[in-house]
Amino acid sequence: MKMSLRNDSCSCIILSFLKQIMKNTSSASSSKANSQGFSLSELLMTVAVIGILVTLALPTFGNTEPAKQGVNKQNAQNFCSLAIAVSSAGVDLTNVHTARPGSDAVKAALRILVDGVTVTDGALAGQTFRVPGVRGELLDGASQYISIKNGELLYNGAL
C-alpha cells in the first residue's frame, strides 16, 4: 500500500512538472510559428520522465524469485540455529532419523519450532523457543533447504 502511495505522489509531482514545462514551451513555440517538431529540451524531458517511470516500475515487475530464495534460506538458517539451541537444551524435536529436504518430517519439525518448544529440565527449564511469524509458504520454502540426519536438522543452502 505504501508503494502505491509513493508512486501516486511521484506521479503527481511529475505531472505538475510536465504541465509547467508545457506552459513554458507553448508560450515559446507560439512565438516561433515556422518551427516544426520537438525542441531538444522537450525530448530530454521526455527521456527523463520515461526513465523515472521505468525506475519506479522495475521493482514491481522485476523478477522476485531471487528475493524469495534469499528469504527462504534465511528462514532455514534461523530454524537450524534454533534447533541447535533446543537440542543443546535437551529437547528432542523429532523421532525421525533421516529425512530429505522438503519432506513431511522436515515440515513437521519446523511446525514444532514455529509453535514453540518449552524446555522442561536444566538451566533453561520453563524457557520457550520459537520462530515467530513463519507460516504457510514461508515454512514450505524454508523446508526445501533443511534435511534431517541422525535426528538433527541440517541446513543445506547449496540446493
User: C-alpha grid cell for residue 147?
Assistant: 534435511
> Can you give the pLDDT at residue 4?
44
β-pairing verdict for 146-149 and 98-99: antiparallel
> pLDDT digit string (tens) for 72-118?
898 888 888 888 888 888 888 777 788 899 899 888 888 888 888 88
Tell me the average pLDDT of the chain.
78
Provide, for the chain, the percentages of residues in helix, strand and coil under a 3-state DSSP scheme, each rounded to the nearest 5.
60, 10, 30
Assign 34 a pLDDT band (cuts: 50, 70, 90). Answer: low
User: Is the pLDDT reported for residue 8 higher than 70?
Assistant: no
Assign 145 a pLDDT band (cuts: 50, 70, 90). Answer: very high
Spatial distance between the Cα atoms of 92 and 61, rounded to a whole number of angstroms: 44
